[in-house]
Each structure stands twice: as C-alpha cells, then as structure tokens.
C-alpha cells in the first residue's frame, strides 16, 4: 500500500495494561501509521497540567479515534463518548461482542479472536482498511451533538462566577487550566445577576448564592451551561430545590472540586460552546 505524508492525527483510547499495551505497539500504532496517521495515546502526553485536559485536547485535535473496548473500561467509554459528542470518526475494536455496550452495537466493530490463526495480521489489516475508509469518507456516525472546529486552548468565553469567599480559588482553577483567560472570568454579586445574560458559562458556589437560585435559573438560557459547586461538607440541597434544578437543561451539580474542570468541559461540549 502506497504511503502518503503523515499529516493526519490518530488518538488511541485503551486500557493501560497488558496485553493491550503490546497490542498498541505491535498492531494499533503500526496499522494507523500504515494508513498515514500520526499516532498517540494518553501516556505519550507530557504537558504539566491535569491529564484529562490533555486527553480532551488530543480528542479534539485527532482526525480519527481508535477505541479498544475490551473489558469495558469505564475511562475508555467516557473518552469515546466525548469523541462521539463532537463528531470524531472512530474505529471500534473488541475481543468479543459482550464487550460492546448495547448503545454501541449498531456501530460496526472490528471483533478479533486471539485464538485464531494469524489474528494479529488480520486485526492490523482490518484497522488499516477502516482507517483508509474513514479518510475517504465525508460522513460520520453517530451524528455529533456539537461540532469541533478548533483544539482546546484559552477560550474566548465569558464565565460568570457566582461566589463570595470562593471566587479567587475558582478563578485560579479556571485560568490555571489554560482553558480560560483571566479577563473573561467575572465575579458576580447578588445585585448584578441580571448582567450575566448571554454569558457562556455560569459557575455557582451553592453556599454563597443558594438564595438566588431562582434568579440565576431565570437569566440562564439553553445555550449557557450552569455548574453548581456544592461541597458535601457545606450541607445538602433541599429536595424541592433539587427537583426544580433537575427540570433545567445543561445544569450539572458537582460535589468535589477535583471534578469541576472535567464537568465544565463536558457541559460546554453539550451546549456547543467549545467550538465557537
């Protein structure tokens, strides 16, 4: 097969253990390279920031995804969901049909049997053919929830932070991630809630603004993501208020600070704001 210049990028989603590490080196990477892709996986990334941000950026920048679904690794499926959400074409591989979740069984999957003769050669050939087919195709399945037109970087997105004592820490988290610029992060007080209309993201510290939740929900539209940060040590949200919040679109409740950045990115994908 004639090779072309390696200008396209492939990103591999897989469990980081044997035998899959050896499959990556002997099958997945060589197959995608034969189809003229530059190939990486998460442990090839060495940027000094949270690894999940690097994975998200690699998914955004990839022209194709290869996903090893064997053993139903939850991290792998989460990353595949991100890729499908933004319309990344993906080659799905698995050792057996039972590894394929119900929601993915309508998508063509390369099944390989390690007990069969020449299975490595057959699997490599199937991946090469699938990658070449994707390169020549204009369509993608499943249809994306939101487009991806640019890699993750400092985003020109206005972020309204509803917080009092927590504001500085939340702003540092946003800016330190490299996803947001300090000039685009605004502190909101209780007298200026109406001025936040049209902003891309609402980040609310529950304890600081719980009495203003109705005002915040009233000003928020469907294109705005609302992240409610409610640490469990600060008390619980009333059941009736939770029912009211659950009626709204694009609202995520986060209990732990370590999940904030991850859920912010997911919410912006859902509202289409990562690609503007």
Domains of the chain: 8-136 (3.40.50.450), 159-271 (3.40.50)
Pinpoint the alpha helices (H) of 148-230: 167-176, 206-209, 213-219
What is the rounded distance in angstroms from the CA atom of residue 216 to the CA atom of residue 208?
A: 13
Residue-level pLDDT at 223: 82
Q: Which residues pair with 170 in a beta bridge?
A: none
Residue 4 burial (C-beta neighbours within 10 Å; 0-12, 13-18, 19+): exposed
Task: Walk along the chain (276 residues) and give the pLDDT tens digit of each residue.
Answer: 444 454 799 999 999 999 999 999 999 999 999 999 999 998 876 655 667 777 888 888 899 999 999 999 998 998 998 888 888 999 999 999 999 988 888 899 999 999 999 999 999 999 999 999 988 876 677 776 655 544 444 455 789 999 998 999 999 888 877 778 888 999 999 999 999 988 889 999 999 999 999 999 999 988 888 999 999 899 889 999 999 999 888 899 998 887 887 778 777 766 655 444
Selection from 14, 32, 9 nearest residue 93 by Cα: 14
Residue-level pLDDT at 142: 72
Residue-level pLDDT at 139: 67
Q: By the 8 A CB rule, do 271 and 146 touch?
A: yes
Residue-level pLDDT at 177: 72
Pinpoint the alpha helices (H) of the chain: 20-23, 29-34, 51-61, 74-85, 119-136, 167-176, 206-209, 213-219, 239-246, 260-271
For residue 197, whether the previous peptide bond is cis, meaning omega lies within 30 degrees of 0, is no
The pTM of the whole model exceeds 0.75: no
């Amino acid at each position: 097969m004639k090779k072309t210049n390696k200008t396209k990028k492939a990103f591999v989603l897989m469990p980081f253990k044997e035998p899959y590490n050896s499959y990556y080196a002997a099958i997945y990477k060589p197959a995608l390279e034969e189809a003229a892709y530059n190939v990486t996986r998460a442990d090839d990334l060495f940027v000094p920031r949270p690894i999940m941000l690097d994975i998200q950026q690699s998914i955004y920048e990839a022209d194709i995804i290869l996903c090893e679904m064997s053993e139903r690794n939850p991290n792998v499926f989460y990353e595949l969901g991100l890729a499908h959400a933004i319309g990344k074409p993906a080659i799905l591989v698995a050792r057996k049909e039972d590894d394929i979740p119900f929601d993915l069984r309508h998508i063509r999957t390369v099944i390989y049997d390690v007990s069969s003769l020449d299975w490595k050669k057959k699997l490599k050939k199937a991946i090469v053919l699938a990658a070449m087919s994707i390169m020549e195709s204009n369509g993608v399945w499943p249809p994306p929830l939101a487009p991806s037109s640019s890699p993750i970087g400092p985003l020109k997105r206005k972020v309204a932070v509803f917080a009092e004592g927590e504001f500085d820490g939340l702003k540092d988290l946003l800016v330190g991630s490299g996803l947001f610029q300090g000039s685009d992060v605004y502190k909101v007080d209780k007298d200026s809630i109406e001025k936040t209309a049209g902003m891309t993201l609402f980040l609310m510290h529950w304890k600081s603004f719980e009495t203003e939740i109705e005002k915040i929900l009233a000003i928020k539209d469907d294109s705005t993501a609302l992240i409610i940060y409610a640490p469990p040590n600060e008390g619980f949200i009333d059941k009736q208020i939770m029912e009211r919040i659950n009626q709204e679109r694009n609202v995520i409740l986060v209990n732990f600070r370590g999940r904030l950045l991850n859920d912010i990115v997911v919410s912006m994908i859902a509202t289409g704001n990562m690609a503007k």
